[in-house]
Amino acid sequence: MRMYWYIPTSMLLSILRFWRLLEMPRLELCDVSKYYGRIKALEKVNLTVEDGEYLAVIGPSGCGKSTMLKVIAGIVEPTRGDVRVDGRSIVGLPPEDRGVGFIFQNLALFPHMTGLENSMYGLLTRETATDEALNMVRKLRMEFGFRARLSRLPGELSMGEQQEVAILRAVASGAKIMLLDEPLSSIDAKVAVEVRRKLREVVKSKGLTALHVTHNQEEAMSVADRIAVMRKGRILQVGKPEELYYKPRSPFVMAFVGDASFLTGTCRGGRAVVRGGYDLGPCDMPEGELIVIGVRPESIVFGRGIPGKVRLRSYLGSLIRYEVELENGDIVTAVSEEEQGENVKVWFEKYKVFKYPREGLTEALSPG
């Protein structure tokens, strides 16, 4: 007598999700440095992208973001340090053996292949049947809502269409680690909002580990589980989007992740005092310490506090953005739903206190 076992669908789905989690790779950069002569493109970079995590890296141009991706992909080798996938070093392995999919900033499509052939390339090199590869690419194209004309050569496509093909090729390759170098830079802004949502959705549903480089802070904050901020070849801070916004560890991070104004002052009697003798509130720095006070536009209120004059106003839909020159000479940016006159008073409901940087505030805020 034959025995039949019934396994509920919900249990089967849970088992599949469990096995997918086991396949998600963990990516580690351990004290990675890359030098070009005297130029330090990367300097002692330590970063872990957890299994199935979507991590974004942001920073000014030339800070080392793209170089870091190339080191991971094997396009360039590190001067020092190690790159590991699930604890195993991949330094020295050729790019095709590293199990990564790479969307290049310059796209790097094969000019003699159609958009469809480019999209299928990774699948066909792994000896996937042509019909199966075709179906996979078509399914991905529908999931993303792409409209690229895949029957045409890259030279006959717009930059946005070429970017769509590059995304399809990388995701369809079957790689478990996705490296994305400015993947949405050539796509129309409105379309990019939808594509980044779909991109995150696909990465998560397929159990991929993604490292997404962008200069667009809004893009990073909307798509990533965590964000790393880079400057001058180093990683300054890694954290969840809300952590970087509300708890930045340096003036540079505060300025780069969102909008912020900065004033200098001194810590006196446990109080933050700025030029003109204005007492802003508590200060947890040592007595007499030179400090920098960072404040977000939404934390500035009108109607009381330090006198100033409106120098510039910009209308942002339901909000108005004001640039205000304070009586003490400092300039701050504030937002309000209400129309303000030329002469105003402003106060800081929330602020962040930093130790005054040794190199000076201007240099500390510069891209590098």
Here the CATH number for the domain that contains residue 58 is 3.40.50.300
The full DSSP string for 137-179 is HHHHHHHHT----TTS-GGGS-HHHHHHHHHHHHHHTT-SEEE
pLDDT at position 17: 42
Rounded to 5 degrees, φ, ψ at 20 are -65, -40
Last residue of a domain, which of 224, 246, 268? 246
Instruction: Give me the CATH number covering residue 332.
Output: 2.40.50.140
CB within 8 A of 37, min separation 6: which ones?
none
CB within 8 A of 322, min separation 6: which ones?
310, 312, 313, 333, 334, 335, 336, 340, 344
pTM across the whole model: 0.84
pLDDT at position 195: 78
For residue 272, is it within any domain? Answer: yes
Question: What does the buried/exposed string (b/e) look like for 89-123 if buried means 16 or more CB atoms within 10 Å of the residue's CB?
Answer: ebbeeeeeebbbbbbbbebebeeebbbbbbbbbbb
Last residue of a domain, which of 197, 218, 246? 246
CA distance to 114, 150, 195, 312, per residue, from 120 (Å): 10, 11, 20, 52
Query: Does 66 lie in the same domain as 195?
Result: yes
For residue 36, is it within any domain? Answer: yes
Residue pair 187/160 in contact (Cβ under 8 Å)? The answer is: yes
Query: Does 266 lie in the same domain as 124?
Result: no
pLDDT in tens for each of the 368 residues of the chain?
454 455 565 555 444 443 444 456 899 999 999 999 999 999 999 999 999 999 999 999 999 999 999 999 999 999 999 999 999 999 999 988 888 888 877 778 889 999 999 999 888 887 888 899 899 899 888 887 888 899 999 989 887 788 888 888 888 887 889 999 988 877 778 878 877 887 888 888 888 999 999 988 999 999 999 999 999 999 999 999 999 999 999 999 999 999 999 999 999 999 999 999 999 999 999 999 999 999 999 999 999 999 999 999 999 999 999 999 999 999 999 999 999 999 999 999 999 999 999 999 999 999 87
Hey, how many other C-beta atoms are within 10 angstroms of the C-beta on 361?
A: 16
Last residue of a domain, which of 212, 246, 280? 246
Query: Does 264 lie in the same domain as 240?
Result: no
d(C-alpha 88, C-alpha 83), whole Å: 8
For residue 281, is it within any domain? Answer: yes
Where do runs of H (alpha helix) occur along 224-327?
A: 241-246, 251-256
pLDDT at position 164: 84
Query: Does 223 lie in the same domain as 171?
Result: yes
Query: Which stretch of DSSP H or E encloses residue 211?
Result: strand 209-214
For residue 11, is it within any domain? Answer: no
Query: Does 222 lie in the same domain as 264?
Result: no
Number of domain units in the chain: 2
Query: Does 130 lie in the same domain as 166?
Result: yes
pLDDT at position 11: 52
Query: Does 71 lie in the same domain as 27?
Result: yes
Query: Does 280 lie in the same domain as 224?
Result: no
Query: Does 196 lie in the same domain as 87?
Result: yes
For residue 3, is it within any domain? Answer: no
For residue 16, is it within any domain? Answer: no
For residue 223, is it within any domain? Answer: yes
Q: 338: domain range?
A: 259-365
Hey, how many other C-beta atoms are within 10 angstroms of the C-beta on 54?
A: 21
Query: Does 54 lie in the same domain as 194?
Result: yes
Of the CA atoms within 13 Å of residue 263, those in its CB half-sphere come to 30
Query: Does 341 lie in the same domain as 205?
Result: no
* Cα–Cα nearest to 299, from 341, 334, 252, 337: 334
Query: Does 350 lie in the same domain as 218?
Result: no
